[in-house]
Amino acid sequence: MSFEPFVAAAIQMVSGSDVSENLAAAAGLIEEAAAQDARLIVLPENFAIMGRFETDKLQVREADGDGPIQRFLGETARRYGVWLVAGSVPLATSSPSLVHNSCLVYDDRGHRIARYDKIHLFGFEAGSERYCEADTIEPGSGPPIAIDSPFGRIGLSICYDVRFPELYRAFGPVDIILVPSAFTVITGRAHWDILLRARAIENQAYVIAPAQGGEHPGDRSTYGHSMIIDPWGDVLGVHPAGQAVVQARIDPEVIGQVRTRLPALENRRL
């Protein structure tokens, strides 16, 4: 853990069906975070589109490496000199009826340095509320992706992944875990906080979890509560609903202190 302390930001959005409007909203929030000295800025899942229908994202999918959403990300990271993580972008697959839900990481020069395709696809049904991501998303095939950065080692995941702790163990020790999300209100109220804190505690790492938080087209509601959690499981910042920037100081000394005081990672025997 040789990195210096820095400020990270989790961007909460209430994205709609118009990509250009969503990118404009994201740009304003990124500018706000950068003005407050954030060096690592993370956008939520589906930041560029939350359409009326799940198939809406098929109409704006992009080829890997090219398209208005990806150009926006690279140009914005370079403009503000920040590392920028797109919670997810719809990228083309070999099937016209499916996309990859891809987390993309850009460095402060605007170069893309990592791509993670969401592995676990959300399925939920309760009364009239039904979600089946497999209808429009092709799952990633792995392996889990962790990257080295000026901010330590960072593990990538998206939303529903948070329910599968084995994914995070497969990273090996990391300093920061990213969980950009669009949790439903029902599942968020029940499990969001406890799942995120558990991932921080068991991996003794910071968790940065930006989320969608509000009312979207198609009568869809998301839980919000974007948060940043430290390796002891303490919540350093949270915002319930609406657009917001949640910021916190990430300090490698805190990681070291927690792992020295309670060497759980060293004590594993499985």
Question: Catalytic residues, which ones?
Answer: 45, 118, 159
What are the C-alpha distances in Å from 256 to residues 64, 158, 209, 235?
Answer: 38, 26, 22, 18
Token pair of 214 as six digits: 């509000």
Q: What span, in angstroms and rounded, lies between the C-alpha atoms of 41 and 55?
A: 28
- In angstroms, rounded to a whole number, what is the distance separating the alpha carbons of residues 11 and 230? 17
d(CA 58, CA 39): 32
Q: Three-state SS for 232?
A: coil
Residue 148, SS3 per DSSP: strand
Q: In 81-223, which ranges are continuous DSSP H helix?
A: 165-169, 185-187, 193-203
User: On the CB side of 62, how many CA atoms lie within 13 Å of its CA?
Assistant: 18
- Residues whose CB falls within 8 Å of the CB of residue 43, separated by 6 or more in sequence, listed in order: 11, 13, 26, 30, 84, 85, 86, 87, 180, 210
63, 70 contact by CB (below 8 A)? no
